Structures are given as C-alpha cells and as structure tokens.
Structure 1
C-alpha cells in the first residue's frame, strides 16, 4: 500500500501544482516504478503507453467525438432547440424546460458534456437572458443539464468504463437511458418548484404549422440515438462501427441541410483530433500506473484493507460516492476512473455489486466535478461562452447540484434503476 499511496499522492500533488494531467500521471507512475526497484525496466514505459492506447475497443472514442462535433457544425443544435421550444416553450419557465430537454436530446448525439455546453450553451443562455432570466441562473442551468450528456448513450465516458471493467458497451448504454431520463426529470421538477416563487416567463404557443416545421427539422436529432444504439444492441455493428455510422449520419444531415462547409468539416476534424489525442495520452500514461499496481498487487491490498474496515454494501457505496465526488472536484473524470477503478472494482465484486450499476454510480459521481470548483471544466467553459463571471456561476450552480445528487443516491440504493432495461432487452446475467 506504500507504493499506491506514493503514486496516487504524487499524482494529486502534481495536479494541485498545475502540471498537465498526462504529465502528472506519467511522472508519478515512473517515480513509483523506480521506488519499487524497477528502474532498470524503464523500457516498459513506452511499451505500456502504446499497449494502453492501442485497444480496439477505444477506437470508438474518436469517432463519437467527431460525430458530436459534426452535429454542432451542421447546425443540429439550433434545430433541437427550436423543436423543444415548440413542444414546451408555452409552459411557465418554458425556456428553462427547453434547456433541460434539449440537453437530453443532444446527449443522444454528442456523448460529452463539454460538447453540450459548447454547442447548445451559447444559444440557450442568449435566449434565456433575452427573456429576462438571470444570467447566472441561465448559465448555471446549462452547465448542470450538460451532466446528462455522458450518461445517455452514446457516451464516451461509458466506453472508457466498459474497457476498464471488461463490460459490454451495449449493456452499459442501455443502463444509462433510465438514469439519464431521471436526471432530466429531476431538473424539470426543480424548475417547477423554483418557478412557483421566482417569476419565469412563458413563450408564445407554437402554431400547428410552426410545430410541424420544428418537428420535421428535429427528426434527425431524435432518430440519431436510435440508429446508434439499435445498431449496437441488435448486433449490426460494434461500438466502433456505430461511431463510424454516427459520423456518416452527421455528414449526410449536413449535406441534406446544405449546412456543412469544408471549413466547418475541417474545424470539426481538427478539434476531434486534439481531444482524441488528449484522451488517448491519458489512457496510455495511465496504463503504466495500472501495470505497476497489478505487478505489486496494490488492488488486492486495497480491497483487503477496505473489506476489513467496511463490512456492509451500503457503507461501501456511500464511501465510494463521497470519495468520487470529492476527487471529481480536483481531477478530470477519465484519469480518475482509470486510476481508481482497479482499486474499487475488486471491492465492488466482493460485495456482489453489479459492474453495470457500479459503472453508472462512478460515472455520475465523477460527472459532478464538471460543475463544481475548483476544477469545474464546465464552469470555466460556460463562463467563457456566456460572459458570466466564474465566481457568480460557481455560487449559482450549487442548488442545481441537488437533483443529480438525489438521482445518484437512488441509483446506488436501487440496482434495478440501471439493470432493468439491459436485463429486459439483452436478458439477465
């Protein structure tokens, strides 16, 4: 356990000092390698980096990132927003409901919270501010609702978990549908309650013609998740092939709408390449740490120590949630998952916790870090997009964290919330 403490402690210290996450993981892992007396085996470092990033299952990640960026490039976000506005805009606090539902629909295309904020964020905040909503509330709600993105399939975060936990991507994608809808419903309920004492305007009711036009333009957004998920579940395509289908579908929509220019396509490719390279570098450097932990049997020692201290399933789940929420405040979700899963999974298995349910708990718990300082990637991005100061945004989002935390507790307490749909479609295990 001394080795594990040294490596993880060194990583956290480097992160606090502002070292880039890839360098922090690599430096702490190499330091652990020398501490364990394997300095002469330094050749293993490049081998493990390449081995970690060269997994066929991870090839789906860049394709889904590209699909989300292409959807942004072809202007699908505007059509999603207009469709939601036609459906629920006439209710009290209509634009706030539109914010939630649009994020849920866009989540079925992008699979990432940052894509939601970058794509829908500016449009939603601008519309809400124009109708008299407080800028801080509009920006905070947009960041909070973006948490749906990495839960609802296709989800880049769930693909990473599937690789780490050796789980079925299709089963995890199905498991994310009900929790994603619950998170969206929890935000709708929150808005309904808040709107009873805070004045929030209604939008004009859409005419039948306006509704028909918005629905027709919004159909591609509604169909995309079904195509992607159906191809995986029914065995027509692997997760990687489904990512390719999503990219092709995005290009087809752009051609049909005549909204995909060469410049927009190039920008989408460039942005996807940078983000994919960053994720793959994190995974590659994390492989060194995983190899070192496995060689020194750190996960087994950690599991034994936890099982000696914690003897009940609910205590372990509570400990895991608190730990991950705190870590998510200081660390991005992907490296946190890559580092902690090898330690936590053996304990979860010992308590008989299904890995699909555990994956949803871990994913949502770490996602909260997107919207919480000091790391708060979503807060920084939204601050830049909306012009709302980071400090005001960080305060305004605090009450909006209550709905997803309640859903997180429900997911941890009731396994069937996540397991019901996968068992129904793919059969129980």
Structure 2
C-alpha cells in the first residue's frame, strides 16, 4: 500500500508539471515528514552528492559533448550520404536510409535525443524534399533515433552500470545485437509500408557513388570501431572511451573545416546544460532510492511476489507493464534511478541475469521515448518537424511494435543479448 501511495504522489506531481528532478526529491521529503521521520532529511545533501560522484558517471557528460560536436560538424551529413548510397534504392528509400544512418551514428553518441535533434533534422529535410509526408518522415526519424542508446556506446548503459555495479563493457556488448535487430525490424516495417503509402526510392547508386561517399565518411565510420574496439580489447575503459570519442569528434570537426572555434562556446554551454539537468535528476533520484530502501520497499515487494508465487516470466511481465506505464510520464534516466534500487534486489531472486535485464530495461525505456505525454524523442523531433505531438505519436505505432517485439525476444530469450558478451569473454 505504501509503495502504491508513494508512486501515486510522484505521478501527481509530474501531472501538475513539477520538474522531474524536483518531483522525485520532493516525494521522498513529503513521506519522510508525513511519517514523522523528518530528522532523516539531514541525509539529503550527502545522498545527493554521493549519487553524482561515481567514476563511471564521468562518461555521461563526455558522450553528450561528443554527440553535440558531431551534430555541429559535418559528421552527420557524411554518414547520411553514405547510407543513402547504400540503401536509398530499397523500397522505402530515404526511410531505410534514416534507419541505417541512425544505426551508424548510434556507435558514436549513445543518446536518442542527440540522434533525433542532430542527424534527425538532416533525415527529415531530405525525406520531405523527396515527397514524404512530414508526419511520416518525422515518425521514421523518431523511431530510428531510439536505436542510439541500444547500440554501444550508450548513456543509459553507463547509468545502469553505475547504479547496479554491472560491467558497462558487458552491457555495451549485450546491446549490439538487440540494437541491430531494432534497426532490421524497423526497416522491414518501412519496406512493408513503402508501396501502400507511396514512399519514393532513389535510383540505385553505382560503385563510384558508393566509393566516393564511403571515402567521405571513412573517418566518422571509424569512430565506433575505435570506441568499441578499444573497450572490448581492454585498451581503455568506457569512461576513458567517452573522452576519446569527444577528442575524436573535435579533431574530425576541425579537419573537415565544419567546426570553427566560435562554435565551441555554444556547444560547451549546451552540453553543460544537458549534463547539469541529468545530474540533478541523478542526485535527487539517489536520495529517493535511499528512501525506498530505508522504508524496506524492495523487501515488501519480494515478500508480496513470493506470496503470489510469481514465476521468472511472470516477474518479467510485471516489470514490462510497470516500465511501459512509467515511460508515459517519466524520463528514461529517472525510471532507471527510481526502479533499479528495487528491481536489482528482485532479479537474483528469479535467476534473471542483470546484464540482459539492463538491455530489456533500456529497450522498454526507448518505447517510453516514443509515447506521450513525456516522450523525449517525440519532443525533439516535433521541435523542427512541427507536425503535432499526438499525430506524431500515432504515426510511430509501427516502430513501437518493432521495438516491443525485440524487447520480448530479449526478455524471454536472453541468449540474444548475452551471446556476444560470452563470446568476447572467452
């Protein structure tokens, strides 16, 4: 009953438009005071501080900065041109190009919003110019952008690893195959919709066009090879990889002459604002997580689930339902921070691998990025597409189904995600 009451208060605060970070922290404060435990609020500053000082979390601001640098430089344009030469002739044309280019860009930024806001503008403009309806184009961009946090590197995986102490390297490896499956599922959907919806395609590119676009995109294409290759070989850690990704994006921008010194201050400021916003959420959510543990909420849930006789599959279905509902109201990072202190105690009880659970949680959160009223990718795309949030969310249904299908596969066939980490470990 207490658990339901806590999350009800949190949802009410969010519905009345209280900022996410404030709503999370305020909920814990309200219940401490209401339960006569106000003296424990002395722990608030300490818990907020400790929640943001983990070494692994250093990767987040650098991956954010790397994504912003790549979006400002000509990296995204070169990637899109190469993808267009490869698959522009396939039924669904530029829709297929958008998915492939997002899959490539996923290996550099690790952020769905960065993908949607940067590369997404190039994709949307090209599709509209080619005759795509703006709503269809915007939905493809929004759907494709969710691949970003699943194919490594990934900001959500960094955050998940910091909370659960699971190896970020293992999480990166586990996300590769599900991320590719997401892209394939979306491409199949676009292929099936191409003829009924009249989606135009490009003429097939000849070898010269493919080779020219490949040469132009070669160094951007090397970014994921360097980042993931360095992590898997142990040459550097995921946190160090984020710094290398930033330096690589900076060098590429200046070498291509797409990035000027005058561009750096606004890029740094935007990255700082994004980082501060996320860190504030992490800080207050850490206090909220400590509050739930202090009130023994995970233990109460364990007792209730045990009494219900829930199976591992039943527990997974409960998790899927909870995250899908929360995804409509909360930012994905906040969902991690609120629920993981509880779920990480329940998973061992049901023999669920924490690496695979991280992949499933991230996939579910990507669905939340496409569902109103708080779908972050929807807002990022709507900011330039101007097609309306609700029209856009309805048009995203095929891509939601694609992500959900991959989520179920990974949830109930964990070998899909765990195969690559097990191979690399041998």
Shorter-chain TM-score tier: over 0.9
Cα pair distance change 1:362/1:310, threshold 3 Å: farther
Q: Does structure 1 residue 254 correspond to structure 2 residue 258? A: no
1:319 corresponds to which residue?
318
Rounded to whole Å, the distance in 2 between the matches of 1:97 and 1:264 is 31
**Structure 1 contact 58–159 (Cα < 8 Å) conserved:** yes
Query: Residue in 2 aligned with 1:209?
Result: 208
Alignment match, 2:191: 192
Tell me which residue corresponds to 2:297.
298
Aligned to 2:52: 53
Contact (CA 8 Å) 2:20, 2:281: kept in 1 or not? Answer: yes
Q: What are the within-5 Å matches in structure 2 for residues 147-226 of structure 1?
A: 147-226=146-225
- 1:354 is matched with which residue? 353
Distance 1:167 1:127 in 2: 40
The 5 A counterparts of 1:96-107 are 96-107=95-106
Cα distance in 2, alignment partners of residues 311 and 45 from structure 1? 35
* 1:129-165 deviation digits (Å, cap 9, x = unpaired): 1212121111001101111011011100111111111
Q: CA deviation at 1:396?
A: 1.2
Quote the offset at 1:8 in angstroms: 2.5
Asked if the contact 1:307/1:347 (under 8 Å) is kept, the reply is no
Quote the RMSD (CA, aligned, Å): 1.4
Where in structure 2 are the equivalents of 1:251-290 lying within 5 Å? 251-290=250-289
Aligned to 1:167, what secondary structure does the other structure show? Answer: coil
Please identify, of 253-262 and 289-298, the stretch whose mean Cα deviation from structure 2 is larger: 289-298
Shift of 1:102: 0.6
- Structure 2 unaligned blocks of 5 or more: none
Residue 25 (structure 1) aligned with residue 24 (structure 2)? yes
- CA shift, 1:340, in A, is 0.8
Contact 2:372 2:390 in 1 (8 A): no
- Give the TM-score taking structure 2 as reference length: 0.97
SS at match of 1:42: helix
Distance across 2 between alignment mates of 1:327 and 1:290: 16
- Corresponding position of 2:109: 110
Report the CA distance between 1:417 and its aligned residue.
0.4
Contact 1:310 1:316 in 2 (8 A): no
The structural deviation recorded for 1:310 is 4.3
Q: What does residue 230 of structure 1 align with?
A: 229
Unmatched 5+ residue regions in structure 1?
none
The answer to whether the Cα contact below 8 Å between 2:194 and 2:200 also exists between their aligned partners in 1 is no
The answer on whether the counterparts of 1:107 and 1:150 sit within 8 Å (CA) in structure 2 is: yes
Alignment match, 1:342: 341
Q: Which moved more, 1:66-75 or 1:293-302?
A: 293-302
After superposition, the C-alpha distances for 1:306-365 in whole angstroms (9 at most, x for unaligned) are: 222242111111121121111101111111111111112222211101001111111111
Corresponding position: 1:127 with 2:129: no
